[in-house]
Amino acid sequence: EVQLVESGGDLVHPGGSLTLSCSASGFTFTTYSMHWARQAPGKGLEFVSDISQNGETTLYADSVKDRFIISRDNSKNTVYLQMSSLKPEDTAVYYCVKGGGDWGQGTLVTVSS
C-alpha cells in the first residue's frame, strides 16, 4: 500500500523559512517523479513543484519560483520542500503527491504575524 507522510508544517512569520518532508513507502520510490501541491483554506488546488525520478529536473509554479526548492533523497525515500521568503498567501495545506496520483494527508503551513 502506498503511504506518503508529510511533516514539518508549522506557524511561521512572513519572510520566514520552513522545510517540509514527505516520507514514502509501499512503492519503488526511485521509479516515480514526485510533486508538492497545496490548497489554501477553503480554496482550490495548486501544484507548486515537481521533481524527476533522479532529482535532476525540477519544476516550479510561478507563485513559488525562486523561493521554494524541491529535492529528494532516494536513499531515504523522502522528498523535501524548502520554503523561504514565505508570504501570507503561502498559507495552505501542503500535499506530497506521487506520480500517478497518490496523495498524502497533508501538512498545514500558516504564514502569519
Partner 1 sequence: EIVMTQSPATLSVSPGERATLSCRASQSVITSLAWYQQKPGQSPRLLIRHASTRATGIPARFSASGSATEFTLTISSLQSEDFAVYYCQQYSNWPWTFGQGTKVEFK
**What's the CA angle centered on 90, arms 111 and 104, to 5 degrees?**
105
27 binds partner 1 per the rule CB under 8 A: no
**Rounded-to-integer distance, Cα 102 and Cα 110, Å:** 24
61 binds partner 1 per the rule CB under 8 A: yes
Region binding partner 1 by CB under 8 A among candidate stretches 14-22, 56-64, 66-74, 76-84:
56-64
Q: Phi first, then psi: what are they for 31, rounded to 5°?
A: -100, 5
55 binds partner 1 per the rule CB under 8 A: no
Number of C-beta neighbours around residue 81 at 10 A: 26
Q: Give me the 74-103 binding string for partner 1, x by CB under 8 A, dash otherwise.
A: ---------------------x----xxxx
